[in-house]
């Protein structure tokens, strides 16, 4: 009788381990941070040539929007030999709410 139990338990344990390992994620994607999101928007959506500019993050403030949702405010300065721009972003709950560009 003990060998019968042992024979039944081994395949059962093996199938449980196989089932668990099949549903375990193999890799985790890293979420892009808000400062990186802002630069990606400037480059990919609004068409800024960021290679031509020296970018600096002047301000990064975490706050709440109407005391409910998380808000992140960023101010970048983009400088080139010909121009200087100030870009202000407001992200609410991870989504762009406001973008302003000043010469």
pLDDT in tens, 42-71: 999 889 888 999 999 999 999 999 999 999
Range of the domain at 84: 34-102
Q: Is the dihedral of CA 51, 59, 77, 99 positive or negative?
A: positive
pTM of the model: 0.66
Query: In this structure, how many other beta carbons lie within 10 angstroms of the beta carbon of residue 75?
Result: 17
40 falls within a domain: yes
Answer whether residue 57 is part of any domain.
yes
**Phi/psi at 57 (nearest 5 deg)?**
-85, 105
Encode pLDDT of 81-94 as tens digits. 999 999 999 999 99
% residues pLDDT > 70 (the chain): 72
Quick check: 62 and 71 in contact, CB under 8 A? yes
Does some domain include residue 21?
no
CB 96 within 8 A of CB 41: yes
**Domains of the chain: total:** 1
Dihedral (C-alpha) 86, 87, 88, 94: value to the nearest 10 degrees?
-150
């Amino acid at each position: 009788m003990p060998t019968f139990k042992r024979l039944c338990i081994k395949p059962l344990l093996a199938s449980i381990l196989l089932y668990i390992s099949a549903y375990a994620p193999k890799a985790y994607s890293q979420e892009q941070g808000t400062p990186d999101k802002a630069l990606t928007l400037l480059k990919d959506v609004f068409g800024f040539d960021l290679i031509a500019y020296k970018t600096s993050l002047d301000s990064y403030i975490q706050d709440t929007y109407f005391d409910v949702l998380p808000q992140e405010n960023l101010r970048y300065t983009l400088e080139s030999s010909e121009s200087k721009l100030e870009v202000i972003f407001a992200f609410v709950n991870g989504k762009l709410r406001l973008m302003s560009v000043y010469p």
